[in-house]
Structure 1
């Protein structure tokens, strides 16, 4: 009867512990994402369309096959993307490992020990007994998460996975943006070098005409010298452009993670790239959720909230249930066949009574870091609004400047046609005609710079919105 009562008591204790674990609470704050009101940015409704959604692969908005191929071939081939991907994988494995605490832990132990046991009081060596004992036991243990420490730890691990996902997205988004804008820079440099060479040939012809007039005594040497200075300035500009072109090619190689012996070449011209006639503009609550920096800041805020719960739960008791069963024998070879079973059931409760204020200080530190993360999140949101507004303003200014340069170039080309007709009719001399051609070349360079600025800021616009579609890694 006593044995049955004892077993009934143990079952009752076990039932109470399981019941407590099922209805246990997780101390600390339950995370709630901050709410943000929708903000409508001042925009040009003819250019920015709120109802318009970004293309599935936004870089295809430029309608250039070479850019598409560049992104799809090397968009995931950068080592930084690989590092970010491995960091994410490590976080996912850490989360997977952290979930193991919610399951019973089973361990198998075997040991062999030689022991010295005295049958008589110390000093009577005649009764000394030395023997060897071998044991084989299986132990099952389970930590009761009564106050939610393990749940908060796993909540933090989940938030870390979300952080690394956002960081990987940010790395890849930035990489693709840099690749496109670097390719545009290379194309612009190559186009400008061609225009400079054409303009240089014109200036050389002007210099030759001035030299002939000087040799004939018709003009002073000042005109010849001025023409030579223009050629020299153009040569200096060309040398600087060639240097910058080499730097841009080196950068594109690095972005594509290519070794020095392999080169990426850009064959397209800026004239081949189409500017999207309209650009998408989501409401703020939509694009804020897409931006990697805001996603990462929100995940870090969630992680800080979970850490508050972990620090608070550390101030409460930890309870672990364990049970073991096995066999013991003085002969290891007869261990499995022996009739000497051993078993045990235990409950372990640990509670810090005095810690010198460490636990309380850790809790306050976690709260402070949570408040810091909240401020960081708000600042990240403000910076995002600033970036979107800045790029929007730049795009508006770029489109106006490009339109002005287009109109100016058209007027100058019309002027060239008139001067050319007058030149053939003898109304203007060759120097006037060539000077007009040189001015047109400079205007073409100005138009080229306006076009590439508009294209690059268009790329930055998609980055500012946090466009989320990438080639598969």
Structure 2
């Protein structure tokens, strides 16, 4: 009978009630967009962006823009951003909490020593007489171990382990937000600076037109309405400059704070649109791979894992708990005889605690955990849908950006050609200077539209990189959380074998134990 009882205990020792977490495998479409994903965009400004199907974005994807100044700004931001540092610290905290929680898998051993002076009265034993004063010296050690029969401890540590995954993906989301915001900010700085320069030159041209037209009005050769029309145009142009300068300054301030600096300390990144290279070959993950690369999807998966483990915790709390304990020690009236014979004390026992009636508390805690798991499942599906929506938006945006850049470049080239002809006519005496100013103003207006289209194309490229996960390597167990994430080669450092070996296993001990618990 004893062997059979031992077998049952062995099976129960590997039993963990509640659902076993299964990583979601969402059924995703074969393409991101309804009409299928194109292999390349329309050529814009002589560059057609090609999509490399199934390729993986590098962790240091910003280097694809070919700007050493941008690379330097990113290095400073990764080293000094407080949000990233907080996420790194939270990851270390969750790892420490998980290792602390895993201590329940081992016996708890404690030691105690004491020396007391006591006065004992015989009255409490029903005898008369004077009391006795004596010294009592003690030395003892105790060991206790909780049998995890129904997996309460394992499910608890499973939840803590999933919390580590959640913090790791929170770090990934912070990394993604930082790198994306910084690159977008630098692109915006370059775009605003170029627009300010072109708008300032355009305003100077219109101002000169106003002055020439005013002189013609005073000479009686031109109607006053022509002067007013140009003055209105000049006022509108001058009104755009303060807003552009404000946006540029805000971008400068944001770039400084992203790098962990005060706005007064930061130096704007020396980048222009001409020094930013548009990536021509863009890695595009397969749709099935997207859910394994985006930190927000992996974070939602970790939340689902936590919710699943919490159902197990709530279920296991409804079952008995058994604790084994043993103790050995010495007690003596004199310290000199504490280690001598006849002073030994010992204990050996087992305790069982079983919930009988808690007013429905345990039942409804489990119902709450089940509802939370359903909410996490729905939340995961929503995050996946949003991720695919962002990729689809970014892909379509790049397709239209190529067309827009090409159209604005063509308009700019036509305006430049018209300006050259007017200049030739002016030099030949067949066109007036005012006509030159008008043609030059038209060229600058076309140039502003072209600059805006180029800036938008760069930012939409960044948006696609972020939508595809921003190079975050979900298979890397542990990024270097103390000195910035990417190293010089852009790789993210995995957890060392010594670190991973210190984690106790949270899996069931045998297939038999899994089958035994399946119905609980």
Same fold, TM-score > 0.5, yes or no = yes
Q: Contact 2:416 / 2:443 at 8 angstroms: preserved in 1?
A: yes
Q: Is residue 2:486 matched to residue 1:471?
A: yes
Q: Is residue 2:215 matched to residue 1:212?
A: yes
Q: Is residue 2:59 matched to residue 1:44?
A: no
Alpha-carbon distance in 2 for matches of 1:27, 1:160: 20
Q: Which moved more, 1:232-241 or 1:105-114?
A: 105-114
Give 1:23 deviation, angstroms: 4.0
Alpha-carbon distance in 1 for matches of 2:344, 2:469: 65
What TM-score results when the alignment is normalised by the length of structure 1? 0.92
Q: Contact 2:327 / 2:347 at 8 angstroms: preserved in 1?
A: yes
Which residue number in structure 2 is paired with residue 293 of structure 1? Answer: 296
Q: Contact 1:106 / 1:141 at 8 angstroms: preserved in 2?
A: yes
Which residue number in structure 2 is paired with residue 5 of structure 1? Answer: none
Which residue number in structure 2 is paired with residue 74 of structure 1? Answer: 77
Give 1:114 deviation, angstroms: 4.4
Residue 373 of structure 2 aligns to a residue whose secondary structure is helix
CA deviation profile, 1:380-407 (whole Å, cap 9, x unmatched): 1111111111111212111111111111
Residue 115 of structure 2 aligns to a residue whose secondary structure is strand
CA deviation profile, 1:301-360 (whole Å, cap 9, x unmatched): 011111111111111111111111111012346534564011111111111111111111
Q: Is residue 2:436 matched to residue 1:433?
A: yes
Larger radius of gyration: 1
Which residue number in structure 1 is paired with residue 10 of structure 2? Answer: 20
1:203 paired residue among 203, 206, 214: 206
List gaps (5 residues or longer) in structure 1. Answer: 1-11
Alpha-carbon distance in 2 for matches of 1:239, 1:258: 25
Q: Contact 1:76 / 1:471 at 8 angstroms: preserved in 2?
A: no
Q: Identify if the C-alpha distance between structure 1 residues 121 and 357 changes in structure 2 by more than 3 Å, giving closer, same or farther.
A: closer
Report matched runs for 1:10-409 at 5 Å. 16=6, 19-20=9-10, 23-39=13-29, 40-41=31-32, 42-46=36-40, 47-119=50-122, 124-126=127-129, 128-332=131-335, 334-337=337-340, 339-409=342-412
Alpha-carbon distance in 2 for matches of 1:122, 1:291: 74
Q: Identify if the C-alpha distance between structure 1 residues 471 and 261 changes in structure 2 by more than 3 Å, giving closer, same or farther.
A: same
Q: Contact 2:13 / 2:148 at 8 angstroms: preserved in 1?
A: no
Q: How many residues get paired?
A: 462
1:416 paired residue among 415, 419, 439: 419
CA deviation profile, 1:247-269 (whole Å, cap 9, x unmatched): 11111111111024312212221
Give 1:73 deviation, angstroms: 2.1
Give 1:21 deviation, angstroms: 7.4
CA deviation profile, 1:156-210 (whole Å, cap 9, x unmatched): 1110000000010001111110011111111111111111121122112212211
Alpha-carbon distance in 1 for matches of 2:26, 2:123: 80
List gaps (5 residues or longer) in structure 2. Answer: 41-49, 473-484, 493-520
Higher helix proportion = 1
Q: Which moved more, 1:71-80 or 1:15-24?
A: 15-24
Residue 346 of structure 1 aligns to a residue whose secondary structure is strand
Q: Contact 1:76 / 1:172 at 8 angstroms: preserved in 2?
A: no
Give 1:128 deviation, angstroms: 3.6
Alpha-carbon distance in 2 for matches of 1:124, 1:336: 32
Alpha-carbon distance in 2 for matches of 1:76, 1:372: 37
Give 1:121 deviation, angstroms: 6.9
Alpha-carbon distance in 2 for matches of 1:284, 1:332: 75
Q: Which moved more, 1:278-287 or 1:366-375?
A: 278-287
Alpha-carbon distance in 2 for matches of 1:22, 1:307: 20
Alpha-carbon distance in 1 for matches of 2:128, 2:414: 119
What's the RMSD between the two structures over aligned residues?
Answer: 2.2
Alpha-carbon distance in 1 for matches of 2:59, 2:130: 87
